[in-house]
Chain A
């Protein structure tokens, strides 16, 4: 039965992988910037959010964390996690129950911090990163769910590729190449038995935009049901 999955569930698994990875990456970047904002580079947060096309304003390091995590902008962590939670609820029957529980807990952690106006500090970020680590570990322990796992996994690495192309294209050339190879390999697995399905092409392109477009076209071809 594990070879059958609806397009809707596949899409939700894919986006769950993306949103979780987006959360992990953003928190990692926030952590690094926070450290700089404290004493070495007050504008580190501004520079970081400039890459997200967000004009972030803050008065000190704590305020940076608050604005970065709960500010009114697209990279708001609570919004990203609300989307991840929704994806997880829709495809929970294919998720490891521990992983599902950690996603609910992760969202609840940020929601409660936001609603109760609790102070945001490094502990929140550490706790969240630890929960995300547990989610990926739980995924690795699952059995006989190769298909659903592939959608989850490909979402994660597409997000990573997207991030590295946008933020570190120069220095991460080799890593980006290896991610593309893994994406190709998963896509081949997802389309292997179906002659009627258009074969996805290797991700090619020269400019950043072309590579990202090629990546998205490839993913769009996998889920057609």
Chain B
């Protein structure tokens, strides 16, 4: 189902109808030329492929985006307060707002970091919050918080750059918010928490699925792009190894490695990647890590249920943006509801990501539902259930034809001296009509997002 067309959409289609259709091929050639790639491993093989994209942008009015912005700022502020509280005083647990057992069973909760407070007490610096627009009430709904290593921001930057070159008419004739400031927002976040030294973007390397993005953000934010073994820790201080052997102090690391791979001395001694000793330096306050280690507890799919409660607890406010109605089999009442309504719910495995571990009740047989009930009953903390949100489709120009595809929206929210919401984001669309999974790992594509007014 498509959202009702507005004057902004009408204006877009009016300009689009006057464009030479051959420009779409030109657009694709330009994107290919600049190797905007998404790498993946399939059956043990490294595959380098272009991420599918669409030339029709999602359009969000500035007025509507301002509301989203307020809701996201509120949410990220609460999540940061939650993380700082959880790893220091843990009042929210002591006061029973969130069950202690529930927190401690979250795989992202790292008890070794209890008592540590990072630079400026910010933990969730660069965040990707996934939303959809509910077609039943026209409201934006939060589907997921990504507070560890959210990716994807370089894709809208690249497609916008291409758009401006191939289709300048839109930008001349419409008031589309510029987006080039994102790398400077990232640079500001790194500078704000920097403990003294240069900023670096830490990449696992060339064969990581998001290497293109790491490279892009390093270049645009003015940070140095480094691989783990190009950093060294001496006396609890992190240094960058220059080509000539000189060591340069590092004050801030925008890391694109998961917690488990950050430091083989602290996490997995078998790991071949990571910076030995970096956690010790971090705990000594000698380097800032963006995002903080241990954030996984706050973007756990189970903890998601409690975010509205966090907002009320820490800010004394009602959430501006709502969660999808969610049920935790951990609670007896919820378990009953889930078992009685499984055929209309979406069941998610909290340990999975990227669209994996998502089961749609309406697609399952009676036998499969019974099997799932047994599994859920045995592992109630491992699952959540959500009402199926019928979110809007977006028009996509696929195979030389306009087609409707379900699309979500990842907003990028950066916390530093204040909380900034980038006035763009990653709109992801599903590969097939009617499919609810939009993740790139599920074959989904992306498109530009225009925040604009007439």
Contacts and interface: CB of A to CB of B under 8 A. Distances in A.
Contact of A104 (B34, B206, B219): B34
Contacts of B246: 194, 196, 225
Contact of B245 (A86, A94, A196): A196
B87 interface: no
Contact of B206 (A10, A90, A190, A222): A90
Interface stretch (B224-232, B278-286, B296-304): B224-232
Nearest to B48: A89
Given A93-B216, A100-B34, A194 B230 contact: no
A7 B215 contact: no
Contacts of A108: 32-33
Contact of A224 (B223, B224, B244, B248): B244
B230 A8 contact: yes
B230 A92 contact: no
Interface string A194-225: 10110000000000000000000000001111
Secondary structure at chain B's binding surface: helix, strand, loop or mixed?
Answer: mixed
A194 B244 CA distance: 8
A6 interface: yes
Nearest to A3: B242
Contacts of A196: 245-246
Given A6-B224, A6-B230, A93-B218, A223 B32 contact: no
Interface residues of B, number: 27
B412 interface: no
A118 B83 CA distance: 59
Interface string B389-420: 00000000000000000000000000000000
A89 B225 contact: no
A225 B245 contact: yes
27 contacts: A4-B198, A4-B242, A5-B242, A5-B243, A6-B224, A6-B225, A6-B230, A6-B240, A6-B243, A7-B243, A8-B230, A9-B225, A10-B243, A86-B206, A89-B215, A92-B212, A92-B215, A92-B219, A93-B215, A93-B218, A93-B225, A197-B245, A225-B242, A225-B243, A225-B244, A225-B245, A225-B246
Interface of A: 1, 4-10, 86, 89-90, 92-94, 97, 100-101, 104-105, 108, 190-191, 194, 196-197, 222-225
Query: Across chains A and B, which 9 residue pairs bring their CB atoms closest together, nearest first?
Result: A93-B219, A10-B243, A225-B243, A93-B215, A101-B33, A225-B241, A7-B243, A224-B245, A6-B230
